Amino acid sequence: MAVEAPADRLLDGRLTLAQPATGHRAGTDAILLAASAPEGFAGHAVDLGSGVGTVGLAVAAMEPHARVTLVEIDPAMAALARRNVAANGRDGRVDVVEADILSRPAARRAAGLAAGSATLVLTNPPFDTAGRVRASPDAARRTAHVMGEGDLDRWIRCALDLLAPRGTLLCIHRAAALPALLAALDRRFGAVAARPVLPREGAAATRVLVKAVKGSRAPFSLLAPLALHGPDGAFTPTAEAIHRGAARLGWD
């Protein structure tokens, strides 16, 4: 396992997170995704591609009645996720499943991922496509950031499989991936809403948050963007409150 950095404290200290010192590390993307979960959520949430558990554990910290499953393929990251579950006192409410999201349904079932078992799936899929980027020499970072051609569609099909009817998918991705993401959601999900995320006010979006409902036929909506930084480079008041866990991202 890679050398660990000192534990990070997120959400104003409500979440303690052990992470590797190098490779993929959780940050703003994970916090924005967790903040997109509905307030008062009390069902079963699945964090697909959880890494050390940031998104799922953040949801558990904000929603005391939520049950969460963290799904991670990398054994070292899954081991850190289990430690983070224990360190945050979430044993019994958050569990960790080692599984390949892109495997066949039978393999996922064998790992403990039952069809239709989740009311909410949250995911921050690998952003890049193999062959189109220079792959990182760090294996964990490469797994977290790169997937094969067509794998985004398979990733979304896994989310669809795990969701109960009318269950909700929440996803964060590169803004440039929105067309591919919408194509993967088409005829599987409805009530799709997209919120662009801007690095600073007036800049082009670099990320997009997407919400979709399994089996819905409601139309697509494009929501007002979220700017992370103001002209002075500091977080905007909204972004700062989200990072503290004092505000959430609604979908109205």
- Ordered by start, the domain boundaries in the chain are 8-244
- The number of helix segments (H) and strand segments (E) in the chain equals 8, 13
Contact 213, 190 (CB under 8 A): yes
Look up residue 184 and give its two tokens.
């993967």
Angle between helix axes 151-162 and 178-185 (nearest 10 degrees) is 50
Q: What integer pLDDT is reported at residue 142 of this predicted model?
A: 40
Look up residue 34 and give its two tokens.
């967790």
What is the average per-residue pLDDT within 157-172?
98
Our CA dihedral for 239, 250, 226, 210, rounded to 10 degrees, sits at 120
- The predicted model scores a pTM of 0.90
- Side chain identity, residue 152: L
pLDDT digits (tens, 9 = 90+) for 59-115: 999 999 999 999 999 999 999 999 999 999 999 999 999 999 999 999 999 999 999
Residue 130: pLDDT over 60 = no
**122: CB partners within 8 A, 6+ apart:** 33, 34, 36, 37, 45, 46, 47, 48, 55, 56, 59, 169, 170, 171
At the topology level, CATH places domain 8-244 in Rossmann fold (3.40.50)
As a whole number, the mean pLDDT across the chain is 91
Q: What integer pLDDT is reported at residue 6 of this predicted model?
A: 64
Q: What integer pLDDT is reported at residue 4 of this predicted model?
A: 60
